[in-house]
């Protein structure tokens, strides 16, 4: 297993470089061995480039950032120079600083880290085959070392960027958690036959007390789970949502994740909340289709438990996962929410329109109501009218707003 050298190289000095080389047992003999391969490597570039680009254009992302002849030509020159320079025999501060700048460029253009890893895998295989054909396979140990060092450095900016983002998220979450700023927002779900609001979906927002900015929980979910505050935030969200809708006549929905459903502590809390709510039949619980796949039996037992209170069930983001129709038949949801990735394309994609129509037809045969998510503009709204989707939800039909504003209307 390759060791990873994590020191930032913004300000690398000779000592840092020697430590890095020591991690990989990269010796003077390795440097000399690589330099001796240069007469073989340089002529091989003409064979490398066509094969390399055939390979990477299998990635959709490569087609996006190498999208003009000028950009591709510049990239070819950069790849050629980088490849040859691995065998120049000089691995000093300037060499490593160039690698770091390349890494920063990758992050800036949003190049996925797995793309970098697979590209390196291709380069490694190419060099292995080349050296074996040339009868100098004994130099492969040094080649693997320099490729591993390059991969480590070219992945470093991803590590630093991810770490920086994680720290920022944790700071914001902790401030919000300590200040108890979780607040339900609600978004209307509209009946297109009369443009009346059918119900509301509750969405978790929290405020950073440092600058009063409100955030959705979704980009912060994994960080909240890592620092073990997610469940408490969910409890607050559920309790405050129920308290708001207790004093209104509206029906509403609450999103639950697999972690919530699978937690005995949270399940007991939820049952206690339902015991103390005046009309639990007004509540719909939305469960992601992908969560159904996580553990069908857990989801089914939860649904059976809350249906005793008259609560309804919606399968959220339907069409994004791979749950079988057999599972849907067993769960018997009251609503299917069609995934936004289908709806947002529906005005210009005949395939998306065909899939949505098939979901609606099937749902109607099963007596399940459908909700289109991500109705974000007039074109999508008009195209949806060609289908028989029962309800619409999105910025075009109604933006989220604080649930407290709804409650104020009934005070």
CB atoms within 10 A of CB 166: 14
Q: Considering only 155-169, 273-287, 387-401, which range has the smallest mean pLDDT?
A: 155-169
Lowest model confidence (mean pLDDT) among 38-52, 258-272, 321-335, 385-399? 321-335
Asked if pLDDT for residue 69 goes beyond 90, the answer is no
> What average pLDDT score do residues 84-112 get?
79
More confident residue, 379 or 150: 379
Q: Does 323 score more than 60 pLDDT?
A: no
pLDDT for residue 51 = 92
Residue spans of the domains in the chain: they are 14-167, 180-408
Residue 8 has pLDDT above 50, yes or no: no
Q: How confident is the model over 259-302, as pLDDT tens digits?
A: 999 999 999 999 999 999 999 999 999 998 877 776 888 999 99
For residue 7, pLDDT beyond 60 = no
How much is the pLDDT for 141?
93
Q: Over 60: is that where the pLDDT of 160 sits?
A: no
Residue 14 in this model has a pLDDT that exceeds 70: no
What are residue 284's phi and psi, to 5 degrees?
-115, 130
Lowest mean pLDDT across 183-197, 293-307, 384-398 = 293-307
Query: What confidence category does residue 62 fall into, taking pLDDT thresholds of 50, 70 and 90?
Result: confident
Comparing 202 with 331, the larger pLDDT belongs to 202
pLDDT over threshold 50, residue 237:
yes
Predicted local distance difference test score (pLDDT) of residue 401? 96
Residue 59 has pLDDT above 70, yes or no: yes
- Percent of the chain exceeding pLDDT 90 equals 63
The residue-averaged pLDDT of 13-23 equals: 78
Q: What is the 3-state secondary structure (H, E, C) of the chain?
A: CCCCCCCCCCCCCHHHHHHHHHHCCCCHHHHHHHHHCHHHHHHHHHHHHHHHHHHHCCCHHHHHHCCCHHHHHHHHHHHHHHHHHCCCCCCCHHHHHHHHHHHHHHHHCCCCHHHHHHHHHHHHHHHHHHHHHCCCHHHHHHHHHHHHHHHHHHHHHHHHHHHHHHHHHHHHHHHHHHHCCCEEEEEEEEECCCCEEEEEEEEEEEEECCCCEEEECHHHHHHHHHCCCHHHHHHHHHHHHHHHHCCCCCCEEEEECHHHHCCHHHHHHHHHHHHCCCCHHHEEEEEEHHHHHHCHHHHHHHHHHHHCCCCEEEEEEECCCCCCHHHHHHHCCCEEEECHHHHCCCCCCHHHHHHHHHHHHHHHHHCCEEEECCCCCHHHHHHHCCCCCCEECCCCCCCCEEHHHHHHCCC
pLDDT tens figures, 189-224: 999 999 999 999 999 999 999 999 999 999 999 889
Task: Report the range of poorest mean pLDDT among 111-120, 155-164, 276-285.
Answer: 155-164
Q: What is the pLDDT of residues 238-258, one digit of tens each?
A: 999 999 999 899 999 999 999
Region 366-391: what's the mean pLDDT? 95
* CATH 3.10.580.10 given to domain 14-167: no
CATH superfamily for 180-408 is: EAL domain (3.20.20.450)
pLDDT value, residue 117:
82
Measuring CA to CA, which residue among 166, 163, 168 is closest to residue 8? 163
Q: What is the mean pLDDT of residues 217-234?
A: 91
Say if pTM beats, i.e. exceeds, 0.95: no
């Amino acid at each position: 297993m390759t060791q990873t050298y994590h020191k930032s190289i913004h300000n690398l000095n000779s000592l840092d470089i020697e430590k890095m080389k020591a991690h990989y047992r990269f010796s003077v003999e390795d440097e000399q061995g690589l330099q001796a391969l240069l007469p073989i490597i340089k002529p091989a570039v003409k064979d490398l480039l066509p094969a390399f680009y055939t390979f990477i254009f299998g990635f959709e992302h490569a087609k996006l950032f190498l999208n003009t002849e000028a950009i591709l030509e510049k990239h070819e020159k950069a790849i050629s120079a980088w490849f040859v320079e691995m065998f120049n025999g000089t691995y000093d501060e300037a060499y490593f600083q160039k690698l770091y700048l390349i890494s920063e460029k990758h992050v800036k253009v949003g190049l996925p880290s797995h793309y970098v890893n697979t590209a390196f895998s291709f380069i490694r295989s190419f060099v292995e085959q080349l050296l074996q054909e040339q009868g100098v396979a004994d130099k492969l140990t040094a080649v693997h070392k320099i490729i591993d060092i390059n991969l480590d450095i070219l992945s470093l900016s991803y590590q630093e960027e991810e770490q920086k983002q994680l720290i920022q998220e944790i700071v914001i979450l902790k401030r919000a958690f300590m200040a108890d700023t979780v607040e339900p927002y609600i978004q209307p779900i509209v009946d297109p036959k009369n443009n009346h609001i059918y119900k509301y979906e509750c969405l978790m927002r929290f405020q950073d007390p440092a600058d009063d900015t409100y955030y959705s929980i979704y980009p912060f979910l994994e960080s909240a789970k890592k620092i073990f505050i997610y469940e408490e935030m969910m409890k607050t969200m559920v309790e405050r949502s129920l308290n708001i809708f207790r004093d209104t006549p509206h029906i509403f929905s609450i999103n639950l994740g697999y972690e919530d459903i699978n937690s005995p502590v949270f399940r007991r809390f939820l049952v206690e909340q339902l015991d103390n709510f005046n009309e639990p039949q007004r509540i719909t619980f939305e469960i992601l289709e992908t969560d159904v796949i996580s553990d069908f039996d857990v989801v089914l037992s939860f649904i059976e438990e809350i249906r005793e209170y008259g609560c309804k069930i919606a399968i959220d983001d339907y069409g994004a996962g791979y749950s079988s129709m057999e599972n849907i038949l067993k769960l018997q949801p009251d609503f299917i929410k069609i995934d936004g990735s289908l709806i947002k394309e529906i005005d210009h994609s005949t395939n998306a329109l065909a899939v949505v129509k098939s979901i609606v037809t099937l749902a109607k045969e099963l007596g399940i109501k459908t909700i289109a998510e991500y109705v974000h503009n007039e074109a999508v709204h008009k195209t949806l009218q060609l289908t028989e989707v029962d309800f619409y939800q999105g910025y075009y039909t109604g933006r989220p707003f604080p649930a407290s504003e709804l409650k104020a209307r009934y005070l």
